[in-house]
Structure 1
Amino acid sequence: MKDKYLGRHILVEFYNCDKDILNDYALIEEHMKKAAELAKATIVESVFHLFNPWGVSGAVVIQESHLTIHTWPEYGYAAVDLFTCGEEVDPWTAFTYLKNKLKADRTETLEVPRGIVDKIKKFSTEEIKEVKYKPDAV
């Protein structure tokens, strides 16, 4: 029997990306927000920062968790976390979109199940009868 869990967390390494794109603050934010939308996530807020002399870090907070990115344009590298909850949101759709938009020619991924339901029930100090897979609307 497959474990039930609350979320999927994909850790992504993007290599040999377009260096100009990785240093474009506005474009990175645009791509991250579009990735969330295509994955069928509900965007709550986004925060991005451009570093001097280069690099962008940012987060798109979604109702179903978050998408984050940290870029190192000087190496053509980006580290991305795609953490989604619920069955409707597909983090792999966001991954594919970002791979194409960042022009990565190599990737490495690791998917980690988050909030394994049996463990939540086992370790909780409260009796839990039902576990929700999607947060209530904001």
Structure 2
Amino acid sequence: MEYSTYGRHIAVDVWGVDFDILNDAESLRHMMTEAADKCMAKVLSVRSESFDPNGCTIVLLLSESHLSIHTYPEKRFAAIDCYTCGQKADPQAAIDFLVEQLMPEKTYAKKLIRGIGEIEVVE
């Protein structure tokens, strides 16, 4: 089987998110797993770490690449990114779901198309 190098990588900063949401690693783990399901990605593993006094990092290793969140509850800020290879999994669906759940006051997003030297892709 031949694999494509094509991928989409979305990074989003969310501001103005409730402290308690950003400091609840267990709830965020579930939210992230659901986001991976929404974007049609296969979760291989989940790793999370809570920090003292607050904040957490959660990384989902996906068959298609990764989904991660790094939270700063004291700043009401989180940095989220999702990178998926191929055209089946849609990282935008994961990002949209997470933004909907987190209900930030502001978002700043960047989208990269990766591996396009191999094929011509129309978005």
Same fold (TM over 0.5): yes
Q: Which residue of 2 aligns with 1:54?
A: 54
Percent of aligned pairs sharing the same letter: 36
Q: Distance in 1 between matches of 2:102 and 2:18?
A: 6
Instruction: Determine helix, strand or coil for the equivalent of 2:6.
Output: strand
Q: Which residue of 2 aligns with 1:97?
A: 97
Instruction: Determine helix, strand or coil for the equivalent of 1:69.
Output: strand
Q: For the Cα contact (< 8 Å) 2:5–2:86, is it kept in 1?
A: no
AA aligned to 1:95 is I
Q: Which residue of 1 aligns with 2:17?
A: 17
Instruction: Determine helix, strand or coil for the equivalent of 1:93.
Output: helix
Q: For the Cα contact (< 8 Å) 1:17–1:104, is it kept in 2?
A: yes
Aligned-pair RMSD on alpha carbons?
1.5
1:30 aligns with 2:30: yes
Q: Distance in 2 between matches of 1:113 and 1:16?
A: 28
Q: Distance in 1 between matches of 2:91 and 2:46?
A: 17
TM-score (norm 1): 0.79
Instruction: Determine helix, strand or coil for the equivalent of 1:80.
Output: strand
Q: Distance in 1 between matches of 2:105 and 2:40?
A: 25
Moved more, 87-96 or 63-72: 87-96
Task: Structure 2: give runs of 5+ residues left out of the alignment.
Answer: none
Q: For the Cα contact (< 8 Å) 1:5–1:113, is it kept in 2?
A: no
Q: Deviations over 1:111-133 (max 9, x none)?
A: 01122334xxxxxxxxxxxx8xx
CA positional deviation for 1:101: 1.2
1:115 aligns with 2:119: no
Residues matched between the structures, number: 116
| Correspondence list, 1:74-89, <5 A | 74-89=74-89
Q: For the Cα contact (< 8 Å) 2:55–2:72, is it kept in 1?
A: yes
CA positional deviation for 1:5: 5.3
AA aligned to 1:92 is Q
CA positional deviation for 1:100: 1.4
Task: Structure 1: give runs of 5+ residues left out of the alignment.
Answer: 119-130, 132-138
Instruction: Determine helix, strand or coil for the equivalent of 1:81.
Output: strand
Q: Deviations over 1:87-123 (max 9, x none)?
A: 11111111111011112121110001122334xxxxx
AA aligned to 2:50 is L
